[in-house]
Structure 1
């Protein structure tokens, strides 16, 4: 695990999929999330032969319930992962393109991105780009 984390930080583009146990996967996924901007951007998929479960890596963040400040990007990127797995490539690409456009514009950002926009405002900005 220690060597894998070192190589992942040193050469992150060398890896697209890592297969490991749950415990090591949890450690590696938290590290890898920082390489893409933090847990607010990290998606996850548990993929089997016939079924898959997708979720953002950050968990539910109950301490932010009702505050509308949580970054929805990880959830949206998780939907993109699911669409890819389902073979809905054009929809996945459309969603990813919209997310990328919103991030590049930098007009709407949640607190973890250095902004003050709400969860809904980010989601609306992404939807408007699709």
Structure 2
């Protein structure tokens, strides 16, 4: 029970004080996505290093519930230093592991929204290069 409370505090902290909040300029990849079931919307900006494969800087903005904003904040902290290949390999469990809790089935789309937005942005970027 105490562990669960700790994770709830982490989620609330990231919701109230999201890390890497804002927009980047210049930006290599920018993508917006939404959770159609609840209206949460996130925009992620990525700046790639000179190798064109490694994420150098990340920022995000958006509106949503505590789970979606906290997930975005936690993911934004993890992305710098990752390669686009590593981003493509992220899965639902990775997003849930960052949160540290198993959300209810209704909240899973909120928990994985950030990961989906980043992956869709990377896919669009790679299709255009």
Q: By the TM > 0.5 criterion, same fold?
A: no
Specify the structure having the higher radius of gyration (Cα). Answer: 1
Between 1 and 2, higher relative CO (CA 8 Å, sep ≥ 6) is seen in 2
TM normalised by structure 1 equals 0.32
